[in-house]
Chain A
Amino acid sequence: MRFYEYEAKALLRKQGVRLPDGGTAEKPADAGKIARDIGGAVVLKSQVLSGGRMKAGGVKFADTPAEAETACAEILKLPIKDQMPVNVLVEAKAAVAKEYYLGVTFDGVAKLPVMIISDMGGIDIEEVAETHPEHIAKVHLSTLHPFSDYQAKEAVASLGITGGELNQLTRVLAQLVRTFLAYNLTLAEINPLGKLEDGSFVVLDCHLDMEEEARERHQKSVLDELGIGADEMRQGRPPTEFEKRGARVDNVDHRGVAGRVVEFEGNLGLVIGAGGGSLTIFDAVQRFGGKPANYCEIGGNPSVLKACELTKVILSKPGVDKIAVIMNVVSNTRVDIVARGVVKGVVESGFDPAEKIAVFRIPGAWEGEGFKLLEKYGVHYCDRTVSMSEAARRAVEKIAG
């Protein structure tokens, strides 16, 4: 779960990290007041869950409170990658002499957390790694031994940094590691960390991601305080109404999973599963020129009710002509239960299963019973001798005409 910059900064402040003076503005007048309190030039930043704000015009500078109000009004009206800002962060503009990158994340090869520091901040760290590897230091952290500040010091020193700068950077990096550990983060990044002309350091921008799996344990202690609800989705872009309805299907009972309903602009509804199967089928539909109306992941032996409700949500989306029901060979999920649920969902939506279900391809456990039912309703079904992509091709062909 990604935090907005202003939330991420609030978490860093809790660990004692120094931040520019400022606050968030929900209307232009707020920005004017913050600018007056600061009493100097300010920077105004659109609060969206996406990078590339500067390029998109979501970051503006202002010398006076009046300019700040104008800039704030413009930012509040500007969508960035289809997202409207939740507010505008207004901060004192800093006189930056040099920029650094500090990060903590997991290394999937070493399978440990890793601290990353570079004296070339402000730009994409992947780019620095490619073009100037000598300007990056990476130091892994044990998860069994406690973290100690000297590890941050060694990382900083390995870049040839010494003197007061070494001590200040060590402190910020150690604070960042502690933030990472305290909140089950998967990424904690300060980029850039600015060294001001007076020699002090201040966080200019930062990016924190909390692991979805750990949200619950931080809900009462931190997330409530930040105003982040337990059911608030924070992935790439805000969820659509259709996606919210899809997400609710999973709560109809505890049997199986109806997960990750994502809306697309298309006419072929997909009842697909589970994790890997859904990815494979979605690709196949697109490869044959089909236009999926949605993505979803149903599996883990769902109940009739769950399969039925999911089918109804998908069929209710305007523009959905037919649905394709496809999964990999299942061993845990029962074919007959999914078949019953889907057919029920189609009938309850007022359609004829034979006409509405373009193809049903779920082979595996209890397939005999499932196929019998589909036959009764005249639904086109296939067994394991028909590949997932061939099933996808048939569905695309049917919808085309």
Chain B
Amino acid sequence: MSILIDENTTFIIQGITGREAVNMTRECLDYGSKVVGGVTPGRGGRDVYGVPVYDTIKEIVAKERVDGSVITVPAPFTRDAAFEAIENGIKLLVIVTERVPRYEMAQVLELARLRGTRVIGPNCLGMISPGKSKMGGIGGPAANTKQAYKPGRIGVMSRSGGMTTEIANSLTAAGFGQSTAVSIGGDPLIGSTYAELMPLFEADDETDAIVIYTEPGGPMDAQLSLWVKENKSRLPIVAFMAGKFMDKMPGMRFGHAGTIVEGKADTAAEKLERLKEAGISVAEEISQIPDLVRERLS
């Protein structure tokens, strides 16, 4: 199996006629994803690589089953695009856009909770269930994606889009394929944190272990540690923390919007302590990840 998406998942792309979105559409189609439509207001009636473009989501859901939507519209329009998707009954959103103000994202996430919609991102590259489907720019062109990602039994969650692929690449090289890899997003407020995705991986009988990539800043690692302890997870977890140098540079943002050391709980040192306490293995470098996974699985 896999989580969130598989070969049957249908999705649309909001902002499909943008330059990056056009590339992403082709990459997803080449990979085998079922892109059933796109939305750009005022461009209804056109098509992007054969994918019909509409003015409104309402028109698409009237005639198609739409499982998800990838939102690639510019930041000032992101909240409205997300509201449109949620209110038209779409239950899975990938928000790629970065630089969306936090309050507006909180509004999107609050409405999503009310309507039972799952959100991945913002500021992410989406997700992939290798060999089945990818939703978002993750992995890039289909040929590159197939080189880095192979079907298998490791779940991956990462705050960095690029590092999702780097980690998958190192797992693949060591003979570990992936069930689903999720670029969860680099913002301080994101739709799905590690702990919020864990129950899905836990319930997936084709996932045997989890690899996470994390950074200083935010409460997500402490939340994961707590979840692991409280739920006695069956899944061994291997974590990698980047940005340890930031512990000495409070108040400065590096890497992603959510990556900043403001209090003690934000530091890499403190987070690593929490992760280890919960029995999570910590890799000093990416290349150690496959060995640690092998060790934890034996």
Contacts and interface: CB of A to CB of B under 8 A. Distances in A.
A151 interface: no
A286 B245 contact: yes
Interface in B252-297: 252-259, 263-265, 284-287
B287 A387 contact: yes
A280 B163 contact: yes
B107 interface: yes
A241 interface: no
Interface residues of B, number: 67
Given A262-B252, A387-B287, A327 B162 contact: yes
A213 B255 contact: no
B121 interface: no
A365 interface: yes
A111 B160 CA distance: 20
Given A111-B109, A111-B110, A236-B250, A213 B166 contact: no
Interface stretch (A91-99, A269-277, A374-382): A269-277
B254 A260 contact: yes
Contacts of A295: 254
Nearest to A126: B263
B220 A108 contact: yes
Contact of A236 (B75, B223, B252, B265): B252
Contacts of A388: 166, 285-286
Interface string B81-117: 0000000000000000001111101110111001000
B164 to A, nearest CB: 8
A16 to B, nearest CB: 22
A24 interface: no
A193 B18 CA distance: 49
Contact of B242 (A2, A106, A280, A331): A280
A144 B285 contact: no
A327 B166 CA distance: 9
* Interface of A (DSSP majority class): mixed
A142 B113 CA distance: 12
Contacts of B158: 276
Interface string A104-141: 00101101110000000000001000000000000000
A183 to B, nearest CB: 10
B140 A365 contact: yes
A283 B244 contact: yes
A331 B285 CA distance: 21
B243 A283 contact: yes
B285 A329 contact: no
B110 A276 contact: no
Nearest to A180: B103
Contact of B245 (A273, A282, A297, A385): A282
A325 B73 CA distance: 31
A214 B285 contact: no
A365 B144 contact: yes
A364 interface: yes
A244 B76 CA distance: 27
B102 A186 contact: yes
B219 interface: yes
A112 B245 CA distance: 29
A274 B162 contact: yes
Given A108-B220, A277-B160, A211 B254 contact: no
Contacts of A212: 253, 257
A221 interface: no
Given A213-B99, A279-B259, A388-B286, A299 B106 contact: no
Nearest to A260: B254
B162 A109 contact: no
Contacts of A49: 251
B185 to A, nearest CB: 11
A260 B253 CA distance: 9
Contacts of A211: 101-103
Interface in B33-84: 75
Interface string A354-373: 00000000001100000000
A330 interface: yes
B265 to A, nearest CB: 7
Contacts of A283: 242-245
Contacts of B120: none
B6 interface: no
A112 to B, nearest CB: 6
Contacts of B173: 384-385
B213 interface: yes
Interface string A286-312: 110000000101010000000000000
A267 interface: no
Contact of A389 (B99, B161, B189, B286): B286
A148 interface: no
B139 interface: yes
Interface in B187-214: 188-189, 193, 213
Given A143-B106, A143-B107, A365-B144, A275 B255 contact: yes
A67 to B, nearest CB: 32
Contact of A331 (B139, B220, B251, B287): B139
A106 B166 contact: no
A331 B145 contact: yes
Contact of B110 (A126, A143, A186): A143
B101 A214 contact: yes
Interface string A328-371: 11111000000000000000000000000000000011000000
B84 to A, nearest CB: 16
Nearest to B223: A109
A278 B161 CA distance: 12
B285 A389 contact: yes
Contacts of B105: 111
B125 to A, nearest CB: 8
Contacts of B161: 275-276
19 contacts: A108-B218, A143-B106, A144-B114, A211-B103, A236-B251, A262-B254, A276-B213, A276-B255, A279-B255, A280-B163, A282-B243, A287-B285, A297-B255, A331-B140, A332-B137, A364-B144, A365-B140, A384-B169, A388-B285
Given A112-B110, A144-B107, A331-B144, 14 more contacts: A108-B188, A109-B219, A111-B189, A211-B103, A213-B99, A213-B100, A275-B162, A277-B162, A297-B254, A299-B162, A329-B165, A365-B141, A387-B170, A388-B286
Shortest 3 CB-CB contacts between residues of A and residues of B: A331-B140, A276-B160, A236-B251
